[in-house]
Amino acid sequence: MSTLIDGSEASLRKFLDTLPGVDKVGADQRAATLATRSIKTSSKSWAIDMAIQMVDLTTLEGADTEGKVRALCAKAVHPDPRDFSVPSVGAVCVYNDLVRIARENLDLNGGSHIPVAAVTTAFPSGRASLKVKLQDTQDALTDGATEIDMVIDRGAFLSGKLGLVFDEIKAVKEVCGNRAHLKVILETGELVTYDNVRKASFIAMLAGADFIKTSTGKVSPAATPPVVLVMLEAVRDYYLQSGIHIGVKAAGGIRTTKDAIKLLVLVNEIAGPEWLNPQLFRIGASGLLNDLLLQRMKLATGYYSSSNYVTLD
Amino acid sequence: MSKSPFEYAPAPESRAVVSIKSQYGLFINGAWVEPKTKNKFATINPANEEVLSKISQASDSDVDRAVKAARDAFTKTWSKMPARERGKYLYRIARIMQERAREFAVLETLDNGKPIRESRDVDIPLAAAHFFYHAGWADKLEYAGLGANPKPHGVVGQIIPWNFPLLMLAWKIAPAIATGNTVVLKPAETTPLTALLFAEVCQQADLPAGVVNIITGDGATGAALVKHPGIDKIAFTGSTGVGKLIARSIAISGKSATLELGGKAANVVFDDAPIDEAIEGIVNGIFFNQGHVCCAGSRLIVQENIHDEVLEKLKRRMSLIRVGDPLDKNTDLGAINSAEQLAKIKELSISGDAEGAFRWSPDCVLPSKGFWFAPTIFTGVTQAHRIAREEIFGPVLSILTFRTPQEAIEKANNTPFGLSAGVWSEKGSRILWASKALKAGVIWANTFNKFDPASPFGGYKESGWGREGGRHGLAAYLKGAK
């Protein structure tokens, strides 16, 4: 928990009251203007490699199997089997019952440096008792997860029970201790307004989040550029007040290299260059990685490759 | 902030799309003609001082030719044509402008020095939008609430500035010809090229000869146009000084006039403002188009209790402004339009230093050739400083503070100008109150420098006479219309 507040709901509310509002039209416009940045040649090549290292390679389906996770892990270590100069991804993200499989397979493929992120706390809805949520998290940690992606209780947030949202995050953080990084998913598509996104970002940071994350990927819209912009402003402002760098993870709907590069421009110009690394910015995605690889090949060879040259997950 | 590992590689827009002739004549009666005196002057690219082309200096007799051509076109063709047919020409011009948008954008950036991002995303689309908007009005003027049968003036003389060359042309020509007038337009001396390309568009659209005449030249050409007895109405956008000269010279001549002049707009930021968006609005207000904007938010009037926070965020944001090659798609701030304007900006900035205000600019390397001025703010400015009173027309912001809402309004209104103002607050009642109390023609709430053809634009006090755009703008081009 942050030292900016004393942990009571009153002090939390007092802090949140100091946050300025977000003007939607202005925020949308700022994101749209930054989307016109033209990233070419050497800067594009740098951005693609950085984006690959920021990918949390994800599978979160009811149909996930051991085989699927095994394939994902091999790809996480060497995204392009023909070119080992391609860096590994930032993490592999799975449901908590597959954490052990993911950990084993990463280690087996020479990917012991790649963390396993587990979605917990009754992901994606978060509709379970705190006891279940904590046990969910504990299970993931026991199986070797070093990153926990929890969801906030949007129902509590929207009904004004901000203290409850805060306490839950704090409790999950206590379970994580220093064994795992805590990413707090706001599910911005359900919070709807940018004012809510800003408020929820600060609740998460004050409660001890290491990362704030846009979405589960199960609700649309997810990581829209203006939402990411508002969250990047939040981590920047929190740093200015506390001296602590909190990361941001954009997840959901990011499918193309263009989308990813636009996000990196936002990181660069809104939060600042300190955030341009996988310790402070992640992109939760599955299909994106293949597009990054295709664009990387195009830059290297001058030719577009067909999708047969990238691997299925 | 640390240096970014993410350096944006140069991303220049190609010049290949434009073909600039080595010299240009005058566009009179639908054809290119040489000026009587054969005098030419150079137009240069302010970003590198390269000579782009030689432009004709129209003399009094050229002005006379142009006005006569416009009169002929008015009496023989344009005033007799069914309004619906007139509208078709405007639609056609608008479509051609859209089709040739890239060409216009690159040419505008070359001749003016503004970033391609702005010419591409603002100037050219808005210019086309003005033609589309007014095309729709052409056959509906009797429903504009301006009387049952509003009539055009006849021949309109139009003089436009160098800050938005094509956009100002559109603001002038579109309503004038939609309402049935014919025009003689003089673009600014330093930025004639897009107007001359527009002449080609008129030919391409088969616009009847003489409806639009474009003559180039300096102030003398403008003066001859204003004084010409064959002109029924003058429309001018430019400095307050020249506006006053025009007003004097047409006094008791029977000519009507719209004047869109200078400004020293206040951007008022209350402590309950959406701060991040206000910072964007401040930056957009003063650094858009290098601050060469008559409605630029050149005075930031910020509530004292948030001054330090706003200043810190503004400085951080300003350090991200990319100054340099206007044709680079990532450039935010381009070149100052002329050596003369650069000298004015420098002179006023030095007065700011001398009078005790504090100057700050982010670290930025300015190109060695061409005309450049770093984005600049002055803190500790008071109402008594010249930089708080005179129009700088450059990327220089004066920052003042206030304690109460009343004080904010008093300071904002304490200027001979009254073109525009901005209010930043999340409180609706405060915005409504402030926008009633501010004496300015355009008031933006939680935004700045937003333009739309449907919205009238114009000033109070020494910022001008009349309105341009919207239904109000139509009235300026129709006789007897209120």
Q: Which residues of A touch B9 (CB under 8 A)?
A: 39-44
d(CA A147, CA B293): 51
Contact A273 B2 (CB under 8 A): yes
Q: Both tokens of residue A186?
A: 């706001």
Answer whether A43 sits within 8 Å of B2, measured CB to CB: no
Which residues, in sequence order, are CB contacts of A302 under 8 Å at separation 6+?
none
Interface test with B, best of A23, A265, A266, A274 (most B CBs within 10 A): A23
List phi, psi (to 5°) of B156.
Answer: -110, 130
Give the CA distances from residue B273 to residues A48, A279, B437, in Å, rounded to whole numbers and listed in that order.
Answer: 37, 33, 18
The answer to whether the Cβ–Cβ distance between B11 and A38 falls below 8 Å is: yes
Whole-number Å distance between alpha carbons of B58 and B221? 6
Q: Enumerate the CATH 3.40.605.10 domain ranges in chain B, comma separated.
A: 26-261+461-479
Helix (H) or strand (E) holding A231: helix A225-242
Question: Which positions of A are annotated as active-site residues?
Answer: 149, 213, 249
Query: Cα distance from A295 to chain B (closest Cα, Å)?
Result: 17
Q: Domain B266-445 belongs to what architecture?
A: 3-Layer(aba) Sandwich (3.40)
A184 inside domain: yes
- Contacts of residue A44 in chain B, CB cutoff 8 Å? 9
Contacting residues for B23 by C-beta, under 8 A, at least 6 apart: B40, B53, B54, B55, B56
- The answer to whether B244 and B400 are in contact (CB under 8 A) is no
Contact between B9 and A23 using a beta-carbon 8 Å cutoff: no
**Gap between the Cα atoms of A187 and A249, Å rounded:** 12
Residues B91 and B104: their CA atoms lie apart, in Å, by 17
pLDDT of A155? 98
At residue A150, what are phi and psi to the nearest 5 degrees? -100, 160
Q: Judge whether residue B455 has pLDDT over 80.
A: yes
Tens-digit pLDDT profile for residues A95-144: 999 999 999 999 999 999 999 999 999 999 999 999 999 999 999 999 99
Pick the residue from chain B with its C-alpha nearest to A40: B9
Question: Which residue numbers in chain A have pLDDT < 70?
Answer: none
Predicted pLDDT at B3: 77
Distance from CA of A271 to the nearest CA of B (A): 10
Q: List pLDDT tens digits, range B309-328.
A: 999 999 999 999 999 999 99
Hunting for tokens 């920047």 — which residue is that?
A236
**Token pair belonging to B248:** 């004097």
pLDDT of B2 reads 62
C-alpha torsion angle, residues B259, B264, B269, B275 (rounded to 10): 90
- pLDDT(B482) > 70: no
Which amino acid is present at B418? G
Active-site annotation holder among B189, B260, B390, B468: B260
Answer yes or no: do A42 and B9 touch at CB < 8 A.
yes
Interatomic CA distance for residues A168 and A209, integer angstroms:
11
Tell me if chain B has a CB within 8 Å of the CB of A307.
Answer: no
Q: Distance between CA atoms of A170 and A130, rounded to whole angstroms?
A: 11
Predicted pLDDT of residue B393: 97
At residue A1, the pLDDT reads 78
Q: Which of residues 17-46 of A touch B (CB under 8 A)?
A: 20-23, 25-27, 29-30, 36-44, 46
> What is the pLDDT confidence band of residue B148, given thresholds at 50, 70 and 90?
confident
Is some CB atom of chain A closer than 8 A to the CB atom of B446? yes
The answer to whether residue A101 is domain-embedded is: yes
Instruction: Summarize pLDDT for B22-73 with one digit per residue, the tens.
Output: 999 999 999 999 999 899 999 999 999 999 999 999 999 999 999 999 999 9
Among the partner residues A27, A46, A273, nearest to B277 by beta-carbon distance: A27
Share of residues in chain B with pLDDT > 70 (%): 99
B14 and chain A in contact, CB less than 8 A: no
Q: Is residue A78 helix, strand or coil? A: coil
To the query of whether residue B294 is one of the catalytic residues in this protein, the response is yes
**What SS3 class is residue A280?**
coil
Structure tokens at B57: 């200096």
Span between the terminal Cα atoms of chain B, in Å:
56
Residues B216 and B40: their CA atoms lie apart, in Å, by 10
Question: Which amino acid is located at A74 in the chain?
Answer: A
pLDDT digits (tens, 9 = 90+) for B175-231: 999 999 999 999 999 999 999 999 999 999 999 999 999 999 999 999 999 999 999
Cα of A102 to nearest chain B Cα, Å: 32
- Residue B447 scores a pLDDT above 60: yes
Please report the pLDDT score of residue B4 as a whole number: 86
Is A40's CB within 8 Å of B10's CB?
A: yes
Q: Is B7 on the interface with A (CB under 8 A)?
A: yes
pTM, two decimals, is: 0.96
- Is residue A132 included in any domain, yes or no? yes
Answer whether B8 touches A (CB < 8 Å).
Answer: yes
Interface-testing mutation among A17, A29, A37, A38, with chain B (most B C-beta atoms within 10 A): A38
CA-only gyration radius of chain B, Å: 22
- CATH code, A227: 3.20.20.70
Sheet arrangement for strand B26-28? B31-33, B26-28, B212-214, B182-186, B155-159, B233-237, B256-260, B464-465
Compute the nearest-CA separation of A269 from chain B (Å).
7
The CATH fold of domain B26-261+461-479: Aldehyde Dehydrogenase; Chain A, domain 1 (3.40.605)
- The number of folded domains in chain A is 1
| Edge-to-edge order in the sheet of strand B442-445 | B358-360, B376-379, B396-402, B299-303, B266-269, B420-424, B442-445
Q: State chain B's mean pLDDT as an integer.
A: 97
> How distant is the Cα of B238 from the closest Cα of chain A, in angstroms?
29
Specify whether the CB–CB gap between B235 and B157 falls below 8 A: yes
Domain assignment present for residue A313? The answer is no
**Contact of A216 with A124, CB cutoff 8 Å:** yes
Q: Which domain holds residue A92?
A: 2-301+304-308
Q: Taking CA atoms, what residue in B is nearest to A271?
A: B1
The band of B1, judged by pLDDT with boundaries at 50, 70 and 90, is low
Q: How far apart are CA A249 and CA A77, in angstroms?
A: 20
